[in-house]
């Protein structure tokens, strides 16, 4: 069973993703901020990170850069409600970015991205 971590400041999004991912047999941990995620034991335990681009405090993109700089190579699925933010999309691009989904996305889109993240092996 894979461990999927979700970081989003919207409680409804966290609860919805928690329920959806559990429904397909995966373990989930949810966090309201990047700082909450970093202060947990999960950055090195997670198999995939679903990450909101815009968060209070440290942004999702800043969190990804922080993790990569510390050799915590975790496949990331970015989610955002700001479809027209091309700057954020380009900043989010990395070898560890599996998908960049715009809210609202379908359950199939998200689960497909999670499946791809669990098989992710950049540079292989």
Q: What is the pLDDT of residues 78-114, one digit of tens each?
A: 999 876 556 655 666 677 889 999 989 999 999 999 9
- Residue 16: inside a domain: yes
| Residue 124 pLDDT > 50 | no
Q: For the domain that residue 92 is a member of, what is the CATH number? A: 3.40.50.2300
Alpha helices in the chain (DSSP H): 11-23, 34-38, 60-69, 86-92, 107-118
- For the entire predicted model, the pTM comes to 0.91
Determine phi and psi for 21, rounding to 5 degrees.
Answer: -70, -35
Number of domains, the chain: 1
Burial, 33: exposed, middle or buried (Cβ in 10 Å; 0-12, 13-18, 19+)? middle
Q: What is the pLDDT of residues 26-38, one digit of tens each?
A: 999 999 999 999 9
- Residue 12: inside a domain: yes
- Residue 124: inside a domain: no
- Residue 67: inside a domain: yes
Structural domain boundaries, residue 31: 3-118
The pLDDT of residue 43? 83
Predicted confidence band of residue 118 (pLDDT cuts 50, 70, 90): very high
- Residue 53: inside a domain: yes
């Amino acid at each position: 069973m894979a461990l999927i971590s979700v970081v989003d400041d919207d409680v409804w999004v966290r609860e919805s993703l928690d329920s959806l991912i559990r429904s397909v047999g995966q373990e989930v941990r949810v966090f309201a901020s990047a700082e909450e995620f970093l202060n947990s034991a999960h950055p090195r335990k997670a198999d995939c990170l679903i990450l909101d681009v815009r968060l209070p405090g440290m942004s999702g993109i800043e969190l990804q850069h922080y993790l990569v700089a510390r050799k915590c190579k975790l496949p990331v699925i970015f989610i955002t409600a700001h479809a027209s933010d091309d700057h954020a999309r380009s900043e989010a691009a990395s070898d560890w970015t599996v998908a960049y989904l715009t809210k609202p996305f379908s359950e199939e889109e998200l689960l497909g991205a999670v499946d791809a993240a669990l098989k992710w092996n950049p540079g292989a």
